[in-house]
Amino acid sequence: METIDFEQIRLPKHVAIIMDGNGRWAQLRGKHRTFGHKAGAEAVRRAVTFARQKGIQSLTLFAFSSENWKRPQQEVSVLMDLFFTVLKREVKKLHKHNVRLRIIGDKQAFSDKLQQRIAEAEALTAANTALTLNIAANYGGRWDIAHAAKQLAEAVQAGKLSVEDISEDKLADKLCLAEQPAPDLLIRTGGEHRVSNFLLWQLAYAEFYFADVLWPDFDEHAFARAIADFSCRERRFGLTSAQVQQAILDTDVTTGE
């Protein structure tokens, strides 16, 4: 029988979050949308601390989508400045807490200064092991898949890969997050029930959790509720419920738990 890692059922190894609702949070307070983005940065810090303390291996946060460039120029520029400042301010603390930082997305669109800061932050934290924090910036799920396909095409063109050998695994190897476990749990705050071009391939078997709370209000309790909800889900990966239950019994027998 197909082996399933039932440890995953209890605590997610990898949590992905669509951090939505910053603009509405600010507007509810009569403030400009950018005020919400600043408050959102604080919520990021809380979420990272929670994930690290709970022993989650990977946390992937959607910070800026490929489509967010279409927002008013002023909002885009505040978001870029904020990204730059937060990176500068937080990277030493992340390093101190043994967090590995990765930025996923099409980084070429960023200013040279920002790209350099990203490269330095990734290099400094590369060997850290407590938590991998992936920040998705100028990220799109369709871009990720197209980018992977392009790399395979280049390998074929160079004579290093034959078309017959192209498989799901080969394509998956070229995607962002390839070396990390697939996200088990996707959380979206802000009340919308959509994926907005986030990790389209990687979320194939993730559990989805939608919360009405706006991102700046997402705290430890809200995160804990999402994890608790996840731990009660039965993940079937295409099997029947009876097969899954049998596999749990078999696992318990072999591990003696």
Smallest separation (angstroms) from ligand IPE to the CB of 16: 11
Residue 138's Cβ-count burial label (10 Å; 0-12, 13-18, 19+) is: buried
Site string for Mg ion, 3-32 (x = CB under 5 A): -----------------x------------
Stretch that binds ligand IPE, among 59-67, 80-88, 100-108, 245-253 (CB under 6 A): 59-67
Q: Does 207 bind Mg ion (CB under 5 A)?
A: no
Q: Does 252 bind ligand IPE (CB under 6 A)?
A: no
Among 206, 205, 199, smallest CA distance to 177 is for 199
Of the listed 68, 128, 217, 229, which one is catalytic?
A: 68
Q: At what angle do helices 220-231 and 33-54 cross, to 10 degrees?
A: 50
DSSP H or E stretch at residue 108: none
Residue in 35, 50, 62, 83 binding ligand IPE, rule: CB under 6 A: 62
- β 131-139/58-65 pair status: parallel
Window 16-45: residues binding ligand IPE (CB under 6 A): 18-24
Rg (CA), the chain: 19
Q: Which residue has the tokens 């996200």?
A: 183
Among 47, 103, 96, smallest CA distance to 80 is for 103
Q: Which does 64 bind (CB under 5 to 8 A by kind): Mg ion, ligand IPE, none?
A: ligand IPE
Residues that bind Mg ion (CB under 5 A): 20
Residues designated as active site: 20, 68
Residues that bind ligand IPE (CB under 6 A): 18-24, 62-65, 68, 79, 190, 192, 194, 196, 215
